Chain A
Amino acid sequence: MARMKFLCDADRCIECNACVTACKNEHEVPWGINRRRVVTLNDGKPGERSVSMACMHCTDAPCAAVCPVNVFYTTADAVVLHSKDLCIGCGYCFYACPFGAPQYPKVGNFGSRGKMDKCTYCAGGPEADGSKAEYEKYGANRLAEGKLPLCAEMCSTKSLLAGDGEIIAQIYKERVVKRGYGSGAWGWKTAYKESIAS
């Protein structure tokens, strides 16, 4: 089985936000929730870079560790998924997540966050693959259809890569060698305790 990862090549990201839009449309993500977002560092200054970020599907995921009701599970592809039926909306996963991935439909005062929502790596949830119930809660299950996450698939500069960690790391390494620079695989050290030499 593959070990699925995301890799954002910040030297290619042009902050077009197409990944964000694609994600919202593909999964009919409600207003106010963003499973993916683009953050621009050093905005307007020399060395500006943009990074597209979502759930990184961490190895030994902190969200899963701190969840007081154990709603998280890891698939055979190492995708971190969760059950909205079991979520109590306590917000702990957001405090633990290094990437700000968990999202909640409501503001959260008096513990009224609602069920947590996050990037599923386009792999749905615990319901039957491709079922209506799965789509309503988690969005499309592209992985079950043999497709990769839409955000990466439609990235116009191929900045955002999704797929087996070793393969996308190899693609990135080749790019770095060819062009002679690279700001590294953002978040990999935090998420997977490894970095790609650049």
Chain B
Amino acid sequence: MARFLAQARFIIGALALVFVVAVATPAPSFAQQGTPGAGVNEEQLLQQLNRISGRCTLPDQKACTLEQPAGREWREFDQGMLLWIGGILIIGAIVLLALYYLVHGTIRIEGGRSGRTMVRFNALDRLVHWTVAVSFIVLAITGLNITFGKQLLLPWMGPENFSMWSEWAKYAHNYVSFAFTIGVALMALLWIWFNFPNAADMQWLKEGGGMIGNKHPPAWKFNAGQKLLFWFVVIATAAVAVSGYALMFPFYFTDIAGMQLAQIVHALVAVLFTALIIAHIYIGTLGMEGAFEAMGTGEVDLNWAKQHHRLWVEQEMAKGRGAGAPSGAAATPAE
């Protein structure tokens, strides 16, 4: 009886093993017996992934991608859509600003200068601002050179000079990016406290920021337009920094599709950024009397401040940090 049980156990075990093996191993393939032409199909593979990859014996695994027709779509973007979007945004911004200037002229300080000034940006604010500003201009020019240089500069400079300039421009773009990224990060830390939306912003936006007509909706240190620019700068810089460093360390973080995407994001955000900064430069210089001083000397005229940032002036006055006497009268003792 014991022997029978042992035998039965053996047979059941063997059957179980056969079952497991039969289930686990796929049916043997007879590739050689099938249709000789039944190999991989290019069209089919491309339809599945829009990319064909296999095995190769090279250390550079990028070489194992046999075909990536997506490169042609990226080319359509880079040489088609990007030129249009970039051209329209940047030329559009300049044309709109020129029209606005022709209609409105420079926004004057109402009632002229008071001669009394108040501190708007301290030395650190201005250092950070100008670090970001100078590096942005370098990045914008060298970046636009990659997209528009061969149409605008190459015919004029000739191939040798244009290549030499473009190579230096590429290095400048790569290295200046660090100053820009760090600058914007500091700027975000310094100014984020003044840029949270509040009730005054709604009114400012409702009145269109006083851009049309002569109204001057009250604002704190930054009006809603400046706040929007601040948040755009912070978010756009994050986008161009992430995509830009992906491009600067090619294939370190991502594959070919990721590199193409990084270039698309980088280029689109950058042209929008450039268009907005052109408007920012306009309003800080030609567009508004008394505005440049805020980032120039750091001190603005009291009348300018009251006109554009009334709530901020009132707040500063309340803190006893109001306007100083005109510089000429600074030595005169108060009576």
CB distance from A87 to the nearest CB of B (A): 7
- State how many residues of chain B have any CB contact under 8 Å with chain A: 64
Instruction: Determine if A111 and B54 form an interchain contact, defined as CB atoms under 8 angstroms apart.
Output: no
Cβ of B40 within 8 Å of any chain A Cβ, yes or no, is: yes
A40-B56, A47-B31, A99-B66 known; A86-B159 Cβ under 8 A: yes
Which A10-36 residues have C-beta < 8 A from chain B?
10-11, 17, 32, 34
Report if A146 contacts B (CB, 8 A): no
Given contacts A65-B79, A66-B78, A95-B256, contact A186 B163 (CB under 8 A): no
Stretch at the interface among A117-125, A131-139, A174-182: A174-182
Most B CB within 10 A of own CB, among A69, A89, A97: A69
Chain B residues with CB under 8 A of A51: 54, 66
Question: In the complex, are the beta carbons of B163 and A62 less than 8 A apart?
Answer: no
Contact B78 A88 (CB under 8 A): no
Q: Give the chain A neighbours of B67 by CB distance below 8 A.
A: 53, 98-99, 186-187, 190
User: In the complex, what residues of A have CB within 8 A of residue B162's CB?
Assistant: 69
Contact flags (1/0) for A71-105 with B, using CB distance below 8 Å?
10000000000010111111110111111100000
| B334: interface (CB < 8 Å) | no
CB 8 Å contact bits of B242-272 with A (1 = contact, 0 = none): 0000011111100010011001000000000
Shortest CB–CB separation between residue B162 and chain A, in angstroms? 6
Complex Cα–Cα for A129 and B308 (A): 70
**B42: which A residues are within 8 A, CB to CB?**
183-184, 186-187, 189
Contact of A190 among B53, B55, B59, B72 (CB under 8 A): B72
Is B335 located at the chain interface by the 8 A CB criterion? no
Q: Is the CB of B147 within 8 A of A40?
A: no
Cβ–Cβ < 8 Å partners of A92 in chain B:
78, 263
CB of B68 within 8 A of CB of A98, answer: yes
Q: Does A127 contact B (CB under 8 A)?
A: no
A residues near B56, Cβ cutoff 8 Å = 37-40
Cβ-based interface call for B65 (8 A): yes
The distance in angstroms between the C-alpha atoms of A109 and B72, with both chains bound, is 25
Minimum CB–CB distance from B44 to chain A (whole Å) comes to: 10
Q: Which residue of A lies closest to B252 (CB)?
A: A109
Rounded to whole Å, the gap between the CB of B189 and the closest CB of chain A is 27
Inter-subunit contact B150/A69 (CB<8 Å): yes
Evaluate contact between A34 and B58: CB separation under 8 angstroms: yes
Question: How distant is the Cα of A113 from the Cα of B252 in the complex, in angstroms?
Answer: 13
CB distance from B278 to the nearest CB of A (A): 22
CA distance A197 to B91 in the complex (A): 49
Q: For residue B38, which residues in chain A have a CB less than 8 angstroms away from its CB?
A: 46-47, 181
Q: Is A144 an interface residue (CB 8 A)?
A: no
Asked whether any CB of chain B lies closer than 8 Å to the CB of A49, the reply is yes
A33 to B63 CA separation, bound complex (whole angstroms): 10
Q: Are A86 and B163 in contact (CB under 8 A)?
A: yes
Cα distance A90–B54 in the bound complex, in angstroms: 27
- A32 contacts B60, C-beta separation under 8 Å: yes
In Å, the complex CA distance between A131 and B55 comes to 37
Known: A109-B248, A190-B72. A47 touches B40 (CB 8 A): yes
Q: Can you list 24 A-B pairs, Cβ within 8 angstroms, ordered by A?
A: A11-B37, A37-B56, A37-B63, A39-B52, A39-B53, A40-B56, A49-B40, A62-B72, A65-B78, A68-B145, A68-B166, A83-B159, A88-B166, A95-B259, A96-B74, A100-B65, A100-B256, A109-B252, A111-B173, A181-B36, A184-B42, A186-B67, A187-B67, A190-B67
Closest 9 pairs between A and B when the two form their complex, measured CB to CB:
A181-B37, A46-B31, A41-B54, A86-B163, A88-B167, A39-B54, A62-B75, A39-B66, A43-B55
B residues in contact (CB < 8 Å) with A: 29, 31, 34-43, 45, 52-60, 62-72, 74-75, 78-79, 145-147, 149-150, 154, 159-160, 162-163, 166-167, 170-171, 173-175, 247-252, 256, 259-260, 263
- 4 extra interface residue pairs, beta carbon distance < 8 Å, beyond A34-B58, A34-B63, A41-B40: A17-B57, A43-B55, A69-B150, A110-B248
